[in-house]
């Protein structure tokens, strides 16, 4: 009789599910502390190194990456943003936040950061990473010996890694969040009732800063990503079909919504990405159960309104990597015990700012003259009150000292 061969089994102190910015940062922190771990990723190395998403990174996050030897590529190639500009009522309103605060943003496409983090984890620090995994399942999270099982691409066999801790870093569409919710965690959601057509254009930036067009026809955004590529957003109905947006309509709307007296027309270019995002947020509380700890989009999604998601993912990852290392190398439980609460304070603050900013972006396009009036008052206040400007800059840059 031919018996099926047993599933290959491995052991490592930590399994990290997902090789996005959160998972790779946790992995790098653990490797630097001498802790073994296994990263499991559904995508290929090439797919994660070429997936364009975020670009705006806050100064504290770059300092934290630098302190851990993870910012060499970023510091060599990132752009610096020192101002943003609102456009409303046909006028330009530059907001020079570096002049006001001495602080700035870094602009570095997320796929370049991921490329740097994978190289450092796998090629420099010798970390174990398995690409192309399928059907990932988490087991025995309430026990001291949880495990994660999966299939490898191209083979039928199931493999299992036994561990002491699981870091759920598998983003908004992963499996870790569901495991936590199954164990009683609460998920709170917010839907904006708004869509954004997210675009990438092979075109140089049309201004040397981010532009926010607050227009009665809807919001439009201009976000320089590199000398050759610019991200644009156009407010649209949620669930809209990208097919409703042929090239000419897109550029016409962008020119109209971002147009202002004295501003050059936008430099147009080939569109390489066109998809509709339904704007929504969620937060999972607590972010841990038993031996499972979530980090990044797996635990909280913040719509890309305020460019905060990657920053929150990095914040979680530093705390979780340090807490796991402290527990596994010295038996210190404190970091893991306080992990969820320490992350959630910043998460809720950024979520609140996102809602506040959403009204600023979209309020004039609601068709409600009362909301348009209050939105314009909110916009004007940024340019007439130093106190309001300072509060906006602090939240936009993520520079508060306490959350
Ligand atoms: P990621 O980056 O989604 O990585 C999760 C990884 O897990 C893999 N995966 C699995 N692996 C194993 N098993 C499974 N079952 C798995 N399921 C999924 C996935 O393939 C992936 O590789 O999550 P992470 O690490 O938490 O990072 C979060 C950020 O990616 C996200 O918050 C930002 O991209 C959000 N965001 C922005 N954030 C900013 O801070 N600044 C920005 O300027 C900014 N712009 C954006 C954005 C997000 C956007 N999209 C996706 C809506 C612009 C856009 C268009």
Q: How far is the CA of 45 from the centre of ligand 1 (A)?
A: 15
Nearest CA, atom 47, ligand 1: 54
Q: How does strand 128-130 pair with strand 147-152?
A: unpaired
What torsion do the CA atoms of 170, 171, 174, 179 make, to the nearest 10 degrees?
A: 80
Atom of ligand 1 nearest to the CA of 176: 15
Given a contact cutoff of 8 angstroms between Cβ atoms, the answer to whether 200 and 224 are in contact is no
Confirm if 343 and 319 have CB atoms less than 8 A apart: yes
Instruction: Pick the atom of ligand 1 nearest to 23's CA.
Output: 25
Gap from CA of 289 to ligand 1 centroid (Å) = 22
Asked whether 174 lines ligand 1 (CB < 6 A), one says: yes
CA–CA gap between residue 293 and residue 138 (Å, rounded): 12
CB 283 within 8 A of CB 344: yes
Residue ranges, comma separated, of all CATH 3.50.50.60 domains in the chain are 9-53+108-189+281-353
Ligand 1: does its nearest atom lie under 6 Å from the Cβ of 20?
yes
4 CA → ligand 1 middle, Å: 38
Expressed in angstroms and rounded, the spacing between residue 20 Cα and the centre of ligand 1 is: 6
How far away, in angstroms, is 383 Cα from ligand 1 center?
Answer: 34
DSSP 264: P
Are 10 and 38 contacting, i.e. CB atoms less than 8 angstroms apart? yes
Question: What distance in Å separates the CA atoms of residue 167 and residue 28, rounded to the nearest whole number?
Answer: 13
**Strand ranges of the sheet holding 14-17, from the earlier edge strand across to the other edge:** 128-130, 37-40, 14-17, 165-168, 292-294, 288-289
pLDDT of the residue at 5 = 60
Rounded to the nearest angstrom, the distance between the alpha carbon of 87 and the centre of ligand 1 is 29
Backbone angles phi, psi at 288, to 5 degrees: -145, 150
- CA 39 to CA 313: how far, in whole Å? 16
Q: With CA atoms as reference, report the closest residue to 57 among 105, 8, 111, 121.
A: 105
Tell me, using a 6 A CB cutoff, whether residue 214 lines ligand 1. no
Find the angle CA(15)-CA(21)-CA(26) to the nearest 5 degrees: 40
**In which residue ranges of the chain is CATH 3.30.9.10 found?**
91-104+191-280+365-397
Atom of ligand 1 nearest to the CA of 21: 25
**Annotation: CATH topology of 91-104+191-280+365-397:** D-Amino Acid Oxidase; Chain A, domain 2 (3.30.9)
pLDDT tens-digit profile, the chain (403 residues) = 455 566 788 899 999 999 999 999 999 999 999 999 999 999 999 999 999 888 899 999 999 999 999 999 999 999 999 999 999 999 999 999 999 999 999 999 999 999 999 999 999 999 999 999 999 999 999 999 999 999 987 777 899 999 999 999 999 999 999 999 999 999 999 999 999 999 999 999 999 899 999 999 999 999 998 899 999 999 999 999 999 999 999 999 999 999 999 999 999 999 999 999 999 999 999 999 999 999 999 999 999 999 999 999 999 999 999 999 999 999 999 999 999 999 999 999 999 999 999 999 999 999 999 999 999 999 999 999 999 999 999 999 999 999 9
With CA atoms as reference, report the closest residue to 227 among 203, 207, 251.
Answer: 203
Task: Assign domain 9-53+108-189+281-353 to a CATH class.
Answer: alpha beta
What torsion, rounded to 10 degrees, do the Cα atoms 246, 250, 252, 257 define? 160
Question: C-alpha angle 129/133/137, rounded to 5°?
Answer: 105
CA atoms within 13 A on the CB side of 39: 30
Nearest CA to ligand 1 atom 54: 53
Q: Rounded to whole angstroms, how far apart are CA atoms 82 and 96?
A: 6
Phi-psi region for residue 319, left (φ > 0), alpha (ψ -120 to 50) or beta? alpha
Distance 137 CA to ligand 1 centre (A): 20
Ligand 1 atom with minimal separation from the 43 CA = 20
- Give the atom of ligand 1 at the shortest distance from the alpha carbon of 296: 26
C-alpha dist (Å) from residue 354 to 52, 168, 279, 305, 392: 21, 24, 11, 6, 11
| Cα of 173 from ligand 1 centre, angstroms | 9
Nearest CA to ligand 1 atom 55: 53
Identify the residue whose tokens are 């976000």: 223
Report yes or no: 214 and 86 within 8 Å, Cβ to Cβ.
yes
Rounded Cα distance, 298 and 201, in Å: 29
Q: What pLDDT is stored for residue 3 in this prediction? A: 52
With a 6 A CB cut-off, is 305 part of the ligand 1 pocket? no
**Cα distance between residue 106 and residue 57, in whole Å:** 5
């Amino acid at each position: 009789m031919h018996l099926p061969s047993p599933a290959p089994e491995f052991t490592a102190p930590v399994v990290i599910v997902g090789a996005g910015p959160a998972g790779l940062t946790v992995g790098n922190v653990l490797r630097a502390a001498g802790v073994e771990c296994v990263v499991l990723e559904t995508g290929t190395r090439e797919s994660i190194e070429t997936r364009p998403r975020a670009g705006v990174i806050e100064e504290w996050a770059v300092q934290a990456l630098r302190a851990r030897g993870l910012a060499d590529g970023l510091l060599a190639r990132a752009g610096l943003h020192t101002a943003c500009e609102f456009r409303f009522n046909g006028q330009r309103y530059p907001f020079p936040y570096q002049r006001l605060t001495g602080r700035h943003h870094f602009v570095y496409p997320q796929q370049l950061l991921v490329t740097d983090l994978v190289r450092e984890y796998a090629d420099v620090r010798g970390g174990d990473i398995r690409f192309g995994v399928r059907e990932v399942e988490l087991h025995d999270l309430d026990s001291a010996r949880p495990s994660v099982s999966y299939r490898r691409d191209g083979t039928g066999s199931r493999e299992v890694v036994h561990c002491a801790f699981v870091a759920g870093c598998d983003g908004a569409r992963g499996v870790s969040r569901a495991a936590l919710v199954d164990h009683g965690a609460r998920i709170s959601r917010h839907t904006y009732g708004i869509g954004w057509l997210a675009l990438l254009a092979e075109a140089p930036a049309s201004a040397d800063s981010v532009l926010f067009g607050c227009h009665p026809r809807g919001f439009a955004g201009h976000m320089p990503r590199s000398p050759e590529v610019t991200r644009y957003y156009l407010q649209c109905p949620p669930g809209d079909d990208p097919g409703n947006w042929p090239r000419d309509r897109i550029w016409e709307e962008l020119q109209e919504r971002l147009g202002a007296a004295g501003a050059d027309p936008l430099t147009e270019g080939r569109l390489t990405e066109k998809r509709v995002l339904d704007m929504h947020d969620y937060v999972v509380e607590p972010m841990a159960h038993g031996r499972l700890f979530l980090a990044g989009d797996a635990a909280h999604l913040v719509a890309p309104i305020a460019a905060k998601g990657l920053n929150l993912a990095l914040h979680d990852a530093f705390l979780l990597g340090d807490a796991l290392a402290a527990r596994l190398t010295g038996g210190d439980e404190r970091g893991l015990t306080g992990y969820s609460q320490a992350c959630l304070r910043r998460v809720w603050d950024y979520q609140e700012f996102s809602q506040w900013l959403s009204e600023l972006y979209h309020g004039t396009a609601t068709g409600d003259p009362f909301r348009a009036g209050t939105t314009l008052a909110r916009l004007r206040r940024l340019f007439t009150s130093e106190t309001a400007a300072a509060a906006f800059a602090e939240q936009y840059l993520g520079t508060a000292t306490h959350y």
